[in-house]
Amino acid sequence: MQVRSVATTPFNDQKPGTSGLRKRVQVFCQAHYLENFVQSIFASIAAPPGATLALGGDGRYYNREAIQIILRMASANGFGRVLVGRGGILSTPAVSCVIRKYQTYGGIILSASHNPGGPDGDFGIKYNTANGGPAPEKITEAVYAASKKIAQYRIIDAPDVALDNLGDSKLGDMIVSVIDPVGDYAELMESLFDFAAIRKLLSGGFRIKFDAMHAVTGPYAREIFVNRLGAPPDSVINAEPLADFGGGHPDPNLTYAHELVEALYGANAPDFGAASDGDGDRNMILGRQFFVTPSDSLAILAANAHLVPGYQQGLAGIARSMPTSAAADRVAAALDIPCYETPTGWKFFGNLMDAGKVTLCGEESFGTGSDHIREKDGLWAVLFWLNILAARKQSVETIVREHWARFGRNVYSRHDYEGIPGDAANGVMRLLHERFGEWQGAQLGNYRVLFCDDFSYTDPVDGSVSTGQGVRIGFTDGSRIVFRLSGTGTEGATLRIYLESFEPDVAKHHLDAQEALAELIGIALEISELRERTGRDRPTVVT
């Protein structure tokens, strides 16, 4: 099989974002586009000859074609073996699991996470390092630099690899090992959680509903919940992974997981509901007619970790992204362990976990995880909740309300304004920066400003500094408003407003979050001039 060096020219838009490079499918389908980026990865990671690579994706449109291209390029670039999920499928948590279990040099994940799929949808690619986590900024910056000066890429001429049959085959001098995408991950979950207790819970009339959203977690959920834990087959819905996610938006929130929400808020509702996203790294948790915010979920998992076999030895620490509520901070203080506030992006948690500083971590954007891998992990979070429910024998709502009674309630909401013209979104952020000075110490309604800044972070492990992570306005009573542009979209801009207040009074814990935060919402809209500058009179998604 001949190795070819193909002449190419750079594209000017291959700068990785928070979670790799995400673009419309048709952008990736351009001649040389994917190849340029993959070659830029290989040029930046200095893999030794004969190294092993993990490879898989969430099954979205163009996944199989991209897998074949990457395999031929990996062979041409001197890799000795590639572990690829059967059918080209591996959830993002499963890739991290495979990297760590088989000690591969790294892995390539093909996904645009919670973004829509299909021929008119989105596609994405990112590189994970040997620890199983997303590449740090020094690597993504090197990849971007390489992409701006690339002149050729290497690929072999070879027929497609049969991806649907387990086993080894040769591709040039490289071995392609098609592996079971579910087995290694399911075994890891069984080592962490009390499957016997969860089986007993599910056999005793406790009903669950898991929405895979026609994304990657369908096969994982069937194997774990149905085959290993004995849940009825209809406990898992939308379980068949589809290239266009069934025309849906695979984002596990109250807006897009509407079928699950309707079931949990309807007549004869199940006791517990959950959903995961396109690549399986996010989760939404619901009780019967009760929504658990991701911020509260992280705090509750930490407070109850002693009930879970894999975490009974104690927690080294907790980490949360800056926009995530401070609920976890209160648990950390009670446990007398550190709590770290980081920028958004799982790579920042990876450094802390590698250094043994934290065990649990989470982001308000429906991502929760631990040091069992180096990615957020949707099904792990669901199993953690089921383990707690089995141990405490209480409802989801009761567990949350008892948590609030003990620690106080961090009333929290996120308002997403999606698909805003970039100029308008950037204009809002510029306005906020320009007004920092006039807001210091100002009285805004019933709130007095304690500080306003643009969050920056110095990594306590490697000393690296990340700036421009989001505008924070903190008030003297502990409330805050955060404005941040998301880095995960492919069209327009997503402007997110995060709102938080602390309520210690149990008598007020029943209030709806939007009602309790109404004045803060009004202040946020007024000071940002968001409606005037964007023409939007309401958010796209409220969580």
Q: Please give the positions annotated as active site.
A: 113
* Dihedral over Cα of 391, 393, 395, 399: its sign: negative
Q: Pairing state of beta strands 152-156 and 3-7? A: antiparallel
HSE-CB at 249 with a 13 A cutoff on CA atoms is 12
Asked whether 369 and 359 are in contact (CB, 8 A), the reply is no
Nearest residue to 368 via CA among 292, 261, 254, 257? 292
The DSSP letter of residue 305 is: G
Tokens of 315: 């927690």
Distance from C-alpha of 178 to C-alpha of 160, rounded to nearest angstrom: 13
Nearest residue to 210 via CA among 274, 253, 262? 274
The DSSP letter of residue 17 is: B
Distance from C-alpha of 55 to C-alpha of 81, rounded to nearest angstrom: 10
* Dihedral over Cα of 391, 396, 397, 403: its sign: positive
Element (H, E) at 341: strand 339-342
β-pair partners for 505: none
First-residue to last-residue Cα distance in the chain: 53
Distance from C-alpha of 162 to C-alpha of 82, rounded to nearest angstrom: 13
Q: Pairing state of beta strands 318-321 and 339-342? A: parallel
The distance between the two most distant Cα atoms of the chain, rounded to a whole number of Å, is 73
Distance from C-alpha of 222 to C-alpha of 183, rounded to nearest angstrom: 12
Tokens 């089986």 appear where? Answer: 199
Contacts 24+ apart (CB under 8 A), 469-473: 469/322, 469/343, 469/344, 470/322, 470/323, 470/343, 470/344, 471/429, 471/432, 471/433, 472/322, 473/439, 473/449, 473/527
Distance from C-alpha of 147 to C-alpha of 77, rounded to nearest angstrom: 16
Q: Count CB neighbours of 303 within 10 A.
A: 22
Distance from C-alpha of 490 to C-alpha of 416, rounded to nearest angstrom: 15
137 CB contacts (<8 Å, ≥6 apart)? 347, 464, 466
Burial 9-43 (b: 16+ CB within 10 A, else e): eebeebebbbbbbbbbbebbbeebbbbbbbbbbbb
Cα 291 → chain centroid:
19
